[in-house]
Every structure is written in structure tokens, then in C-alpha cells.
Amino acid sequence: MKRPKLIGLSYSPWTEKAVWALDHHAIDYAYEPYSPVFGELKLRRLTRRLRGPVTVPIMIADRQVLSDSYDIARYAEAHGGGAPLFGHPDVDGLVKDAERGLVAARAVGLPRLLDSPGALLDVVPRGIRRRLPKGAAKLGAWGIRRTIKKYCVSARSGDEWEAELRGVLDTIRQRLDAAGGTFVLGQLSFADLALAQVVNLALPAERVGRLKIRPASCAAYTVADRSAEYADLAAWRDALYRDHRKLPESPSHPR
């Protein structure tokens, strides 16, 4: 059987939760980095989606194209080993909460990237930055504005997105308090993996496990009062990664 192939972004929390599930279940897969904008045509061919937004991660496995981190995690559970991540009935509801939080955190953070010269360069592939040193920032700004439009960020105000995000962070805190502080459902589940990604985008660190955010982008996404108010969730995220994010040694693993 051919190895599954995952296409993703090394700095994407959506990719990270899929990769974490694959690693947890010891799935042997190949990884292909995705280049936003420039790799979109190939992605459309693979997904057979000629119109509308296309995004990563996607995984090609057993002649299937799985285009959502949830479906990839379900595939991993069905085909791999390790403890189950979907055994609790509340997992799916919390995964939906996590998606709301990620969408809100992205909507708050994307416009802030436009005000950071370093972050504008972060979104441009290194080879293009070398070839177009004077135009790279403009290209980066174009790409970010295109992404803002793609995800309908302007459909709500920044304050509304921030309130949505903080509501999800409050939910994480409440669930942890009710379950003893280590896992949101009392034992490790995909809900923890997904909600940790909300924390990764809302309270970013330059590196957590193998998820890396470049310094300028990390700074642009950081909101000081939010970081102070939810410092306990950053500590929870760090402990979850330290104790439960086992990283396989594989040359094909995303770095």
C-alpha cells in the first residue's frame, strides 16, 4: 500500500492538529509543504474543487482525498495504533468550539500582519524574497489581503471576532477546571489537540513542538492584555506539548 501523503503548512494550527493525530497513532506518511497562492492550482486539481476556497491540510490516502483535519484524525484513528482520541461523546462539540476559536483568532490576527513589515515578508516564499527583494513586501501584503477576503474576515468587526475568541478561551478554561486541569475531558482526546491550536494562535509562541511561527508574525498575532489574562492556558498548552506531543524521528516529518 502506498504511504499516505499529507500536504500542509508548517506554521498552520490546522495542519498541526492533523499532524499530531497522525503522529499519536503512529501513521507512516509523507509530508509535502504547501506554498500559499503559488500551490493553489495543484491543490484544486487534487481536491477537484475548481471554485471556492481551498486550503490545507489535505491528505491523500487509499485513493481518498481527505480535506479536513478532523477527517484526517479520524483516518489516523481507524488505521493506526495508540489510545483512542474520539472515545468521549463531547469530543465533536469541543472540536467545533475549537474551529470557531481558530477562525476568530485568524480574523483578529490577519489585519495586524499588514502593519508589520517583517510579517509581510514572512508569507512570501524565501526564493521569491531573494529574487524580488524590493517587491516582496508588496507581494506579501497582496497575499494577506487576498486571505482576508478568502475567509470573509470583514464580515464582522475586530471587536466581535475578539469576543468570539475570548469566549472559546473561557470554554477551554471552564472545561479544564471541571475535568481536573490536565485534559478538557479527563483524558487525552482530539478535543485537547484541537483546542491547543486555538491557544497556539491566540497566545502564540515562536515554537511549540514542531509548530514554528516566525518572530515578526508571532509578535503581530500577540495581544498583550489577552496574553496576560489567559496565561494559565498558555501554561496548559506548554505542558500538554511537553508531556503528550511525541515527535517521530522521520526525514519526511514536517519541520
Record the pTM.
0.91
pLDDT digits (tens, 9 = 90+) for 154-182: 999 999 999 999 999 999 999 999 999 99
pLDDT at 251: 44
Q: How far apart, in Å, do the first and last CA atoms of the chain sit?
A: 25
pLDDT at 253: 54
CB contact at 8 A, 101 and 119: no
Residue 208: CA atoms inside 13 Å, Cβ hemisphere, count? 29
| 176 phi, psi to nearest 5 deg | -65, -45
pLDDT at 130: 87
Sheet strands side by side (includes 30-33): 30-33, 5-8, 58-61, 64-66
pLDDT at 89: 96
Instruction: Name residue, grid cell 507581494.
Output: 139
* Better-predicted residue by pLDDT, 247 or 19: 19
pLDDT at 13: 94
Domain range summary for the chain, segments of one domain joined by +: 5-79, 91-244
pLDDT digits (tens, 9 = 90+) for 225-251: 999 999 999 999 999 999 999 776 654
| Domain 5-79 superfamily per CATH | Glutaredoxin (3.40.30.10)
Helix and strand tally (H, E) in the chain?
12, 6
DSSP state of 175: H
pLDDT at 37: 66
pLDDT digits (tens, 9 = 90+) for 74-91: 999 999 999 999 999 999
CB contact at 8 A, 158 and 108: yes
Burial of 124 (0-12, 13-18, 19+ CB in 10 A): buried
Mean pLDDT of the chain: 91
**Above 80 in pLDDT, residue 115?**
yes
